[in-house]
Amino acid sequence: MKSATVSAFALSTMLFSASVSFAQELATKDRIGLADAPKSLVVRLTNDSPNNADPAIAEGYQKLFVDFIKKHPDWKLQMQFMSSDIGTEQAKMLEQAKAGNAPDCAAVDSFVLSQFMVNHVLADFTPYFSKEEVDDLFPFIRDGITDKDKTVRAWWWDTDLRVLYRNKSVVADAPQTWDDLKKAALASTKEGMEGVLFNGGRWEGTTFDWLANYWALGGKLVDDSGKPVFGEGENKEKFLKALNYFKDLVDSGAAPKRVSTIANYDDMNAAAAAATTALFIGGNWQYAQLKSTLDEDEFKNWTFSPIPGPTADQRSTGTGGWTIASFSKDKDKVEMCANLAREVYMGPANALQQQLPTRKSLFDKYEVFSTEANKTFAKALVDGQARPGVPIYPEISNQIQIMMGDVLSGTKKPEEALDAAFNAAMEAYKRL
C-alpha cells in the first residue's frame, strides 16, 4: 500500500513537473505558444496582460493565455507591450496602421477607436460575434464598436465609471448635489483635511472626470456631424456653469489649489492612505486598490456614491474601457484576434481584474461581480456616457485640459478660457 502510494505520488509529481515544464515552454516574456508553431500573430497589449505590474494579475493572465493557446496549438502569439504613455502609444499605432505596419491584433483605447475607424484600418469582427452577444452589450458600447454600416470593428471588453469616494467617518452622508459636495468638502477642511480632490492637471483624466458635470446639465461637445458645439448657444451656457462649479470649489477652499496639477488617480489613493482627504472623484477600479492599500479598519470607513449633479436628479458619469481590434488583412489572423478577444478578454479577464464587463449577462455569470460594490457600479452604468466617437474629440479634450489649468490656476477667466478652447477646437476641426 505504501509502495503504491509512493508510486502514485511519484507519477503525480512527474505529471505536475511535465505540466509546469510544458506551460513554461508555452509562455516566455515575448511569446505565448510553441516556438515552432506554424502560425504567428503579433499582439500588442497594455498592462492588461501578462505584463501587469501586479504579480498575481500577471500570473493570472499568463494562465489565461496559456489555456487559450492550448486550444489553438498551431499558433504562437508574438507579444508586444505598450508603455504607460497611452496617448503616444495609440497615436503611434494609428500611424503604423495607416502605413500598413501595425500589429495583427492590439488593444485600442475606446476613446480613440473612432480615429482608427475613420481611417479604415480596422478589420471586420462581425462574423466572430453573435447577434445575441452584440445585443447584450450596453448601448453605449454597442454604438462605440460599430461603424455606420453596423460592421463590428473591435470588441470592447471592459468598461469603467467615475464615482465620488468618501470617508464615512468624516463625511457620513453621500453628497447628492454640487452644493452638498461643496459643503461637505468645506466641513472636512475644518477637520484638517484638504477638501475634495479631482484631476485638474494636463491629461485625459481631467477632461473625462469633469465632463460628467457638463453632461449632467445636458451639454453636448459635438453635433450629429461631429462638429464642435460646446462653445455656442445653450451648450456654452451649460459649459460655463459646469466650469464655474469646479472653479468655485477651488476658490472657496472646498478643493485645494493643487488639484490643478493632479494628473494621476494614484495621487488620490495616496491622499486616502495618508488620511489627508475624505473626498475624491475617482474610477471604480480604485475601490479594489483602496482595499489592498489601506488597513482593514481604515478601508471600512471608505465607500462611494454617484458623482453629485447640479440637482439630485441630474446625474452623469463618464464610461471608458479598452477594446481588442485587428489590423490584419489575413482572415485567419483576424479570426485568431477575435478568438483572443472572446476567449481571454470577454469575461475571464474581467473577472481576473474585476474590471466591469460590457455585456449585461456577464455580471451574473461571474461571482466576483455579485458583490454589493460591483452591483452598485453596474446600476450606476445607467447614467454612463462615453466620449463622442468622433475624430475631433482628442483635440477637444486637449483644449479642455489647457482650459481647466488656466481656470483653476486663475490665469484666465472661465469665459475667456472657454472661448480660447472652442476656437482652437474649431480650427483643428477645419483641418481634419
Q: What is the pLDDT of residues 204-217, one digit of tens each?
A: 899 999 999 999 99
Please report, as a single letter, which amino acid is at residue 186.
L
pLDDT score recorded for residue 4: 43
pLDDT surpassing 70 at residue 345: yes
- The Cα angle at residue 183 between residues 180 and 185, in degrees rounded to 5: 105
**Using N-to-C axis directions, what is the helix angle for 414-431 and 393-409, rounded to 10°?**
160
With cut-offs at 50, 70 and 90, classify the pLDDT of residue 84: confident
Note the pLDDT tens digit of each residue in 105-147.
999 999 889 889 989 999 999 999 999 999 999 888 898 899 8
Full-model pTM: 0.76
Tell me the average pLDDT of the chain: 92
Q: What number is the average pLDDT over the span 168-179? A: 97
Phi, psi of 160 (to 5 degrees): -150, 175
Q: What percent of the chain has pLDDT over 70?
A: 94
Cα–Cα nearest to 288, from 373, 384, 358 = 373
C-alpha distances in Å from residue 133, one per residue of 82, 116, 323, 341 = 29, 23, 15, 13
Q: What percent of the chain has pLDDT over 90?
A: 77
Instruction: Find out whether 75 and 40 touch, Cβ atoms under 8 Å.
Output: yes
With cut-offs at 50, 70 and 90, classify the pLDDT of residue 23: low
Query: DSSP H helical segments within 130-281, as ranges?
Result: 131-135, 139-145, 178-189, 204-216, 233-251, 265-273
pLDDT score recorded for residue 270: 95
Q: How far apart are CA 158 and CA 287, in angstroms?
A: 16
pLDDT surpassing 60 at residue 276: yes
pLDDT score recorded for residue 370: 84
pLDDT surpassing 80 at residue 396: yes
Q: What number is the average pLDDT over the span 362-378? A: 88
Q: What number is the average pLDDT over the span 83-103? A: 92
Q: What number is the average pLDDT over the span 369-379? A: 85
pLDDT score recorded for residue 13: 46
Rg (CA), the chain: 24
pLDDT score recorded for residue 21: 52
Query: DSSP H helical segments within 190-232, as ranges?
Result: 204-216
Q: How far apart are CA 162 and CA 197, in angstroms?
A: 13
pLDDT score recorded for residue 118: 87
Per mean pLDDT, which range of 24-38, 254-268, 299-313 is the poorest? 24-38
More confident residue, 382 or 283: 283
pLDDT score recorded for residue 371: 87
More confident residue, 162 or 381: 162
Instruction: Find out whether 155 and 341 touch, Cβ atoms under 8 Å.
Output: yes
pLDDT surpassing 60 at residue 421: yes
203 contact partners, CB below 8 Å, separation of at least 6: 263, 264, 401
Instruction: Find out whether 138 and 159 touch, Cβ atoms under 8 Å.
Output: yes
pLDDT score recorded for residue 112: 87
pLDDT surpassing 50 at residue 176: yes
pLDDT score recorded for residue 390: 82
Please report, as a single letter, which amino acid is at residue 137.
L
pLDDT score recorded for residue 379: 80
Note the pLDDT tens digit of each residue in 346-357.
999 999 988 999
pLDDT surpassing 90 at residue 260: yes
pLDDT score recorded for residue 2: 40
pLDDT score recorded for residue 285: 87
Q: Which three cell numbers stand for residue 246?
A: 469646479
pLDDT surpassing 80 at residue 58: yes
pLDDT score recorded for residue 24: 56
pLDDT score recorded for residue 111: 84
